[in-house]
């Protein structure tokens, strides 16, 4: 049987054995998508053999733009001069609800998944269908961590490991920040992906995704920046992954 989880207190997954425990007797594990993975095409660019891609809902969770992603620098879409360098994370927040996607990947892909999402804290959560039926099995959510934890746990307290991940990109010394703005190409992709899933998902993304201040919604942010962001085409190297 899968463990019973409290929505208010998601279980943290610290290592591969924790991931395998929520697989139960299955060869697959469920993954939550709330940003780029709202797009099935984007999800399949990362997980080609995923199955059962569908829409779900997570209660008491919100989306926030407040983590620096190395991929934005590597592909030339980060704009450090305007602080438009942020990707998304999810974090517990009582009363908030986000609409997400859920899909399954093979249990054998867990090590690669952990490595790919190296900066995040992993939580086991119980999504529900849009009509309120709770899932029977937990899914993995990439959630907010801290700079201290990242440096001590993921970088083993070594500056050269941190530099390998981040330091070479414009002297980045912190990755979890509340003073940065969404990467334009990435935000455009998330908006188009949400819109492709219908008005309910689209409006949820606009109204329940926040800047790092936790007050400004993406809908409000777009009032001032929307047209230019939607026109921000991804480079050829990210055309499929961040194409909406």
Q: What is the mean pLDDT of residues 45-63?
A: 96
CATH number for 15: 3.10.490.10
25 located within any domain: yes
Q: How far apart are CA 60 and CA 91, in angstroms?
A: 9
**Neighbour tally for 136: CB within 10 Å:** 9
Residue 135 has pLDDT above 70, yes or no: yes
Q: What distance lies between CA 157 and its chain's CA centroid?
A: 25
Residue 7's pLDDT is 47
Residue 237's pLDDT is 82
> In which domain, by residue range, is 223 found?
11-147+175-238
243 located within any domain: no
Residue 170's pLDDT is 65
Structure tokens at 82: 């305007």
Mean pLDDT score of the chain: 90
Q: Across the strands, what pairs with 90?
A: 63, 143
Residue 88's pLDDT is 98
Structure tokens at 19: 């991931």
142 located within any domain: yes
Residue 207's pLDDT is 97
Instruction: Confirm if 124 and 29 have CB atoms less than 8 A apart.
Output: no
How confident is residue 169, by pLDDT bands cut at 50, 70 and 90? Answer: low
What SS3 string covers the chain? CCCCCCCCCCEEECCHHHHHHHHCCCCEEEEEECCHHHCHHHHHHHCCCCEEEEEEEEEEEEEEEEEECHHHHHCCCCEHHHCEEEEEEEEEEEEEEEEEEEEEEEHHHHHHHHHHCCCCEEEEECCECCCCCECCCCEEEEECCCHHHHHHHHCCCCHHHHHHHHHCCCCCCCCECCCCEECHHHHHHHHHHHHHCCHHHHHHHHHCEECCCCCCEHHHHHHHHHHHHHCCCCCHHHCCCCCC
Instruction: Confirm if 120 and 107 have CB atoms less than 8 A apart.
Output: no
Residue 128's pLDDT is 97
164 located within any domain: no
Structure tokens at 106: 């093979």
Place of tokens 């943290």: 12
Name the residue with higher pLDDT: 2 or 201: 201
Residue 36's pLDDT is 95
How confident is residue 232, by pLDDT bands cut at 50, 70 and 90? Answer: confident
Name the residue with higher pLDDT: 230 or 100: 100
Give 15-25 pLDDT, tens digit per residue: 899 998 888 67
Whole-model pTM: value is: 0.90
Number of domains, the chain: 1
244 located within any domain: no
125 located within any domain: yes
Q: How far apart are CA 5 and CA 92, in angstroms?
A: 14
* Alpha-carbon torsion angle 212, 218, 221, 224, nearest 10: 160
Q: What is the mean pLDDT of residues 104-125?
A: 94
Q: Of 20-24, 69-73, 94-98, 212-216, which gets the smallest average pLDDT?
A: 20-24
Residue 194's pLDDT is 97
Give 179-195 pLDDT, tens digit per residue: 999 999 999 999 999 99
Structure tokens at 148: 């201290």
% residues pLDDT > 90 (the chain): 71
Residue 1 has pLDDT above 80, yes or no: no
218 located within any domain: yes
% residues pLDDT > 70 (the chain): 93
């Amino acid at each position: 049987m899968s463990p019973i989880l409290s929505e208010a207190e998601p279980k943290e997954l610290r290592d591969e054995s924790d991931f395998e425990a929520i697989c139960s007797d299955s060869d697959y594990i469920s993954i939550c998508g709330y940003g780029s993975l709202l797009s099935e095409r984007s999800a399949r660019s990362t997980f080609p053999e995923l199955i059962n891609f569908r829409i779900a809902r997570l209660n008491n969770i919100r989306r926030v733009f407040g983590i620096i992603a190395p991929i934005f620098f590597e592909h030339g879409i980060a704009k450090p001069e305007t602080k438009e360098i942020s990707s998304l994370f999810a974090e517990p927040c009582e009363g908030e609800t986000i609409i997400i996607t859920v899909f399954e990947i093979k249990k054998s892909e867990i090590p690669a998944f952990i490595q790919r999402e190296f900066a995040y804290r992993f939580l086991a959560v119980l999504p529900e269908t849009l009509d309120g039926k709770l899932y029977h099995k937990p899914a993995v959510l990439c959630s907010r961590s801290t700079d201290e934890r990242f440096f001590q746990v993921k970088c083993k307290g070594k500056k050269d490991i941190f530099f390998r991940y981040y330091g070479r990109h414009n002297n980045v010394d912190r990755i979890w920040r509340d003073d940065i703005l969404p990467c334009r190409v990435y935000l455009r992709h998330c908006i188009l992906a949400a819109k492709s899933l219908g008005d309910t998902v689209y409006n949820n993304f606009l109204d329940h995704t926040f800047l790092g201040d936790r007050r400004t919604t993406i809908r409000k942010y777009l009032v001032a920046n929307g047209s230019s962001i939607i026109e921000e085409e991804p480079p050829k190297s990210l055309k499929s992954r961040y194409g909406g």
